[in-house]
Structure 1
Amino acid sequence: MKRSMLALLIAVVSTGAAANSYQNESSVDYGNSEINGVDLDLWQLKHQYFFNAVDTSGNTPRAEAAFINKNASVFGTLSRLSADSEDQNGWSVGGEYMDQSHNFYGKLEWLHYSGTDYQEVDGTVGYFISNDWLVGAIFEHSRPDQGGSSTNYGVMTKKLWDLGTGDMINLEANILDYRNDSATRYGVGADYYFGKNFSAGVGYQWISDGVLSESEDSLSLRTKWFALPNLSLSASVAFDALETGDDVYQVGASYRF
């Protein structure tokens, strides 16, 4: 019986391992951090459906195939945040729009926490300057439990550089203005793709004029590896993350079919 179950598991994971396209991606992520000495655990499940099959047969890194091919999608997430003996569940739905026939881009996500009135809507409206370079305007609108609301605006960019050796570099940057707090968040990041299956990256975030402040800024390291063409594993650590003020450790896995 155990051998049959193991064989079935191997067959499921290996299904489509040699395929050059996918239309669904399911992922699970686990993160751990602390806020004011309270230990936090976060689990998140996500499923993304692409309206057209994503082609991975070229030299583009597997992690960037949908971006380069401009594959539109819809997605949903379920999350669970545990702090001591209290749990908080949340969910979100959203979509990402882009198409080979034009250069316009759009993304929208709505987030809600169960048992609360909190809601958040994040969005991006952008344009592809070239097939591998996106620029856009971003916004974050939130409505807390206590009533009232706030909207923050900013800009972003993402660029893929083909080094001509089979390797690529992904560069990202964003600026978001917190209007109610008279502060601005800045972020930059880079990922080096060693061929199609493995990447290592670094990110840096800071608030207003706190750049290069060891106690105020956040430095993150991340990596992603496609152990199979349809199965990836990821890990990251953010030192002094802006969201928690402490280090955040995260691991995850995704499956494509």
Structure 2
Amino acid sequence: MKGSLLALMIAAVSTGVAANTYQNETTLNYGWGDIANTESDLDAWQLSHRFYLSPVDTSGNAPLAESAFINKNASVFATLGRFSVDGDDQNNWSVGGEFMSSQHNFYGSLEWTHFSNTNDQQVDASLGYFITNDWLVGAIAEHSSPDEGGSTTNYGVMTKKLWDLGTGDMMNLEATVLDYRNWSTTRYGVGADYYFGKNFSAGVGYQWLSDGVFSESEDSLSLRARWFAMQNLSVQAEVAFDTLETADDLYSVGVSYRF
């Protein structure tokens, strides 16, 4: 009996190791840190699941983390989050989808987030176009309705480019600009991930708030890494210094499973 149970557990973990496709991905993340100039500790959990409308092919040369992007696989997803500040808990959940197809170059995404026991909610949307198969540009919008009233909508632009370096390695470059009209400031973000083959990546991100591109009033630097221990199992970690949300350092670790 014990031998059968062990064999079943091994089979569950190794399912898809030799396979070249997956259609589901479940991710669990845990984050922690402090809120600057306070004695408050922050803890956050997030569980998400994404379902792809067609199987994602991982047999090509693209990094495993970028398989869905390079193959233009549309998906729907749901996320459940819980964060705690000194024991005061707040739950939130979101649903959304990402639309793209190998049959055309159009892109779209939509996500709706609701915070439990409040009227606070947020909608994030984007509409884009693939200039080439590995280069996406688009417009983004962020609509928030705080619990105390006074909803706002912010607009911006984004781009994502995956470079094949011709050595078996690749690099991902991303950038966003989001204009906060009500506060007369703009949020800028740039990031890069270097893929050492298909299984491992290390990256850096930088965000800043400014009323001009090069006159930041607040900024944040992040370092991140992801490793596929198996083709269907990965672990990731990130540290962000002086985050724009808490003005202090935040740390996170996570694990993802594909099947």
Specify if TM > 0.5: yes
Distance in 1, matches of 2:221 and 2:86, equals 27
Q: Specify the alignment match of 1:42 in structure 2.
A: 44
Query: 2:54 is aligned with what amino acid?
Result: N
Distance in 2, matches of 1:252 and 1:70, equals 24
Shift of 1:4: 5.4
Q: Specify the alignment match of 1:77 in structure 2.
A: 79
**SS at structure 2 position matched to 1:12:** helix
| Number of equivalent positions | 256
Distance in 1, matches of 2:141 and 2:71, equals 25
Matches within 5 A, 1:1-257: 5-35=5-35, 36-208=38-210, 209=212, 211=214, 216-257=218-259
8 Å CA contact retained: 1:172, 1:189: yes
Structure 1: runs of 5+ lacking an equivalent: none
Q: Given the two structures, how large is their TM-score scaled by the length of structure 2? A: 0.95
**SS at structure 1 position matched to 2:110:** strand
- How big is the alpha-carbon RMSD for the aligned residues of Structure 1 and Structure 2? 1.5
Shift of 1:10: 2.2
Percent same amino acid among aligned pairs?
70
Distance 1:14 1:114, change over 3 A: same
Distance 1:83 1:7, change over 3 A: farther
1:87-111 deviation per Cα after TM superposition (whole angstroms, max 9, x unaligned): 1111000000000111000000000
1:59-117 deviation per Cα after TM superposition (whole angstroms, max 9, x unaligned): 10000000000000000000011111211111000000000111000000000011000
Distance in 2, matches of 1:249 and 1:210, equals 27
Q: Given the two structures, how large is their TM-score scaled by the length of structure 1? A: 0.96
1:146-193 deviation per Cα after TM superposition (whole angstroms, max 9, x unaligned): 112000100000000001111000000000000111100100000000
Shift of 1:11: 1.9
Distance 1:210 1:155, change over 3 A: closer
1:108-128 deviation per Cα after TM superposition (whole angstroms, max 9, x unaligned): 000001100001000110000
